[in-house]
Copies of this chain bind each other. A is one copy, B any other.
């Protein structure tokens, strides 16, 4: 029964994204995703708990990547610099997958429930980065503040990147937003 399907997960992800873009997240069923991918619903549920998880399955990898980059920053790096390094690295990663990231964002922007889920994901990423800073010996509230401010920088840079008609890359927007945060908190 359970025959091996080459790259079933990737095919399901691609089929789901196509359908979410074409007809909207709410109007897409798991049966349709499986059909488009040339697979069965049973195979879908072997990879994803539900159709929402297709959009959020990458969160744990993203978290691991952020946490590892914070942990790997030089000992001499200030907390905000360790956070900035992690955000820029994610910026490069997202820029490489530009089309997929933008497609996903357009699906999320069209659906209030998905936006809420995204907000929760970002809050979890901030907590994980704060914990990574604490393991570097940064105390609270500095650890939490650096991580939360970092996620705010990322969110705002991401929005500006999505809307940027000049197509400057995401790392550019992250650096710009971080510089702006520094100016703002310095009271300028």
Supposing A116-B116, A116-B120, A119-B123 touch, asked if A141 and B186 sit within 8 A by C-beta, the answer is: no
**Contact of A188 (CB < 8 Å), options: B78, B116, B160:** B78
A interface SS class: helix
Say how many copies of this protein the assembly contains: 2
Cβ-defined contact, B188 with A145, below 8 A? no
Count A-side interface residues using an 8 Å CB cutoff.
33
Q: Which residue of B lies closest to A144 (CB)?
A: B156
**Contact of A185 (CB < 8 Å), options: B80, B116, B123:** B80
A62 part of interface (Cβ distance < 8 Å): no
Interface string of A75-88 (1 = CB under 8 A from B): 00011110000000
Using a CB–CB distance below 8 Å, which chain A residues touch chain B?
78-81, 116, 119-120, 123, 140-142, 144-146, 148-149, 152-153, 155-157, 160, 176-177, 180-188
23 intermolecular pairs with C-beta atoms under 8 Å apart: A78-B184, A80-B184, A80-B185, A116-B120, A119-B123, A140-B160, A141-B176, A142-B184, A144-B152, A145-B153, A145-B156, A145-B180, A145-B181, A148-B149, A148-B156, A149-B149, A149-B181, A149-B185, A181-B185, A182-B185, A185-B185, A185-B186, A186-B186
